[in-house]
Amino acid sequence: MNVDGIRSFAFGLGVIIMIVGVLGAIGIGFFLYTVPPYSVGDMTIDEGVLHPLRWWIAGASLLSSLVFGAILMGIAAIIATLQGDTEVKEDPYQKPDYSQLKHNDIDYNPALDDSVR
């Protein structure tokens, strides 16, 4: 598997984990029982007891899946940057070229220069 394939796989897996996490959290929030419902034939014996902390558990599940998916997407972005697919327009830390100035001093102010007058 080449680097581009690994990057695509990591990004896609991160998105899939996020989607499954959202759907799983919704499922946990609505259908987590401490006593499951059961029926015999057509007659319902017990309707079940929903877990009192089901929305907290669903929130923790959602948060963990979103964080893990974001980490995988970040790894894919790092791989893309290291591979050189992203183009850096300009290095913000590069010092400007002052060789084109009349005086090579960056603090030169022509208004204060007595030889110009």
Q: What is the pLDDT of residues 29-63, one digit of tens each?
A: 999 888 777 777 777 667 778 889 999 999 999 99
Tell me the pLDDT band of 68, cut-offs 50, 70 and 90: very high
| 54-83 vs 3-31: helix crossing angle, rounded to 10 | 170
Report d(CA 10, CA 59) in Å as an integer: 24
Q: Tokens representing 101?
A: 């100035």
**Residue 117, pLDDT above cutoff 80:** no
Tell me the pLDDT band of 104, cut-offs 50, 70 and 90: low
Predicted pLDDT of residue 30: 93
Provide CB contacts within 8 A for 52, sequence distance 6+.
34
* pTM of the complete model: 0.63
